Structure 1
Amino acid sequence: MTAFIPQQLRFVIAEIDKAIDSHQQWYQNLLRVLVSRVSPDEKDRLDDAHQQCQFGQWYHTPQADLIQDHPTFISLGVAHENMHKRAKQLIDLVLAKQSIPVELFDAFNDDLEKMRVQFYALRHEFADLVQNLDPLTGAQTRAGMQAELNKEHALAKRSQQPSALVMLDIDHFKNVNDRYGHAVGDLLLTKTVQSIQHVLRPYDQLYRYGGEEFLICMPNTTLEQAQHVAERMREVIAEQKITYDKAGSELYVTASLGVTSLDPAHSVEDAINMVDKAMYEAKSGGRNLVRVR
């Protein structure tokens, strides 16, 4: 799976908005069944009712693969399935003309509230990502970087879950701008980010740190795993062919990368300084290299 691009983020937000609207309508219809005893939708009485609603159909299709590993998305799916199972129990009791235990109704409402909170948490996260995207490359800007890194650092402290940082700098980028012009430099940045995104996971965080420098935060990733991913990024950047004029002229570039852990024992600032030093070691070592600290 690749990292998000702006169009994908907007698609996810649109699907979440549809889900919020459709479930609000679904809930109103369910209340009519429970209170006014109107006939229920037969789909709500199926064992796989959670796969039959509009959100469920999207959740269980390849279109949702973009965020299938996102923890909130997984929790949302669990709450959604539980809610539909309890809704089926409520409907069956109504049709059997039996009273509804308050515990069952409260459990149903608890799952409904969990869904609501997770829906809006996902939407808020992805909306923030869209807002903070660099308009040229599609990478995230530094505007929200510190807060997100602090959040990941706190999570690493609580869960002892490893995380890693990668700093990437395009080699001789100034020479590209000087020789070919800024338009070609912009094209190079855009194409390089696209190449990087095909290596990263959707929940890896890619930031445009400086002009031609990028910082990647990789949650739930060991130092060894991050080094492997960094080597793959270095390879795909070196392999890309950038056509920059109508004659089909091609430009080749390389990048130098540093890798370090987002160590809970040290501050986020310490980790950024460490990965920056590792990247400069790759530069001084001959470029087109990965160095680990």
Structure 2
Amino acid sequence: MRFTTEKIKLIIQVLEQAVSEHRGWLNDWHRSLIFGQPLASTCFLKDSYRKCGFGQWYYSQSSPILSDHSVFILIGQIHRDLHNKAFVLADKIKHYGTISIKDYDFFIAKEQDFSKKIFDLRDELREVLFEIDPLTDIFNRQAFFRILSYEYERASRTGQPCCICMVDLDHFKAINDTYGHLVGDRVLRAVAHYLTGKLRPYDSMCRYGGEEFLICLPNTKLDKAKKIVNRLRIGLLSLPIDLDNDKQVKITASFGIAKMAINITINDNIIRADEALYAAKYGGRNQAIAYEEIRPALKNARRNVK
């Protein structure tokens, strides 16, 4: 599932609107308590947590960005407890005309906990926005290093194999020069969408820079990684990228693969994948080469093939 910047922005917007509506319910409750006005009928409903604006939004969520999120689930529990407490207090006010300070303080503590968790979730979603490349809607380079660090540590601890792959679009400058940068952007988005859609659920990818992408393939031996990468490479050959004049532009890409080694740094592993990519381009492009396969003369060579 691809979590695009637009999806996340929309969730933040709707979340803030739902919280605003919930504050309206809370303000009405306080006015009734302070000024002795009758409480709204919804306060006496045992499922009032589903009836308020926030509840209607919360229980209609189907987005995996939220529905499986631990903080989102906790927010639902706190929100339900908050309304259940409001129901109990409303019943006491109805029968006795007042409530105890202890009951009120408990209710306020629940409300403050609810608000804090909401803001925590909103702030976390905002942080996610900074980890996504706005053009391609995949991880940016900075965020991807966190993923690579985790996989590097896991490979070091468990001995499980992991491979990384550097991808570079062939002759991308010619596409920009011929069709313009807007078409170039369209190509980058199409390629990112295609590759992420064909990767396994536990694989990950980032835009490394320009027309370069970096893929991480956990729990994957080198021979398996090469099969996966070649499948991606062949798929790109038939990827349709439509132009505004009813024509299509075709693209190919070169792939450099490296088995993650734990006796060198993450950056050095990336350099190995980059050197394998150079070898793929030097050898004619539109191919996948592993670092372990390249000739010694090409290792550590300066990249001057585009």
Q: What TM-score, normalized by structure 2, do the two folds share?
A: 0.66
Which residue of the other structure, out of 213, 219, 224, is the alignment partner of 1:223? 219
* Structure 1 residues 108 and 229: CA distance shift in structure 2, 3 A: farther
The structure that has the greater radius of gyration is 2
Partner SS for 1:169: strand
Partners of 2:149 and 2:266 within 8 A in 1? no
Residue matched to 1:100:
100
Residue matched to 2:60:
61
Residue matched to 2:194:
195
Alpha-carbon distance between aligned partners in 2 of 1:19 and 1:86, rounded to the nearest angstrom: 20
Q: Which residues in structure 2 correspond to 1:105-124 (within 5 Å)? A: 105-124=104-123
Identify unmatched segments of 5+ residues in structure 1: none
Q: Which residues in structure 2 correspond to 1:167-186 (within 5 Å)? A: 168-174=166-172, 177=175, 180-181=178-179, 183=181, 184-186=183-185
Partners of 1:132 and 1:143 within 8 A in 2? yes
Partner SS for 2:86: helix
Partners of 1:257 and 1:279 within 8 A in 2? yes
- Structure 1 letter corresponding to 2:20: D
Partners of 1:9 and 1:126 within 8 A in 2? yes
- Structure 2 letter corresponding to 1:43: T
Q: What percent of counterpart residues are identical?
A: 22
* Structure 1 residues 270 and 35: CA distance shift in structure 2, 3 A: farther
Q: Name whichever of 198-207 and 117-126 sits farther off.
A: 198-207
Identify unmatched segments of 5+ residues in structure 2: 293-306
Residue matched to 1:243:
242
- Structure 1 letter corresponding to 2:126: A
Give the superposition deviation at 1:11.
0.9
Alpha-carbon distance between aligned partners in 2 of 1:37 and 1:290, rounded to the nearest angstrom: 77
Residue matched to 2:17:
18
Give the superposition deviation at 1:203.
12
Alpha-carbon distance between aligned partners in 2 of 1:201 and 1:55, rounded to the nearest angstrom: 35
* Structure 1 residues 235 and 18: CA distance shift in structure 2, 3 A: farther
* Structure 1 residues 81 and 101: CA distance shift in structure 2, 3 A: same
Residue matched to 1:9:
8
Across the aligned residues of Structure 1 and Structure 2, the Cα RMSD in angstroms comes to 4.7
Residue matched to 2:70:
71
Give the superposition deviation at 1:234.
6.5
Q: Which residues in structure 2 correspond to 1:266-281 (within 5 Å)? A: 270-271=265-266, 273-274=268-269, 277=272
Give the superposition deviation at 1:12.
0.9
Give the superposition deviation at 1:152.
7.1
* Structure 1 residues 166 and 151: CA distance shift in structure 2, 3 A: closer
* Structure 1 residues 26 and 186: CA distance shift in structure 2, 3 A: same
Alpha-carbon distance between aligned partners in 2 of 1:74 and 1:290, rounded to the nearest angstrom: 45
Partners of 2:254 and 2:277 within 8 A in 1? no
Q: Which residues in structure 2 correspond to 1:28-39 (within 5 Å)? A: 28-39=27-38
Q: What TM-score, normalized by structure 1, do the two folds share?
A: 0.68
Residue matched to 2:85:
86
Give the superposition deviation at 1:29.
1.4
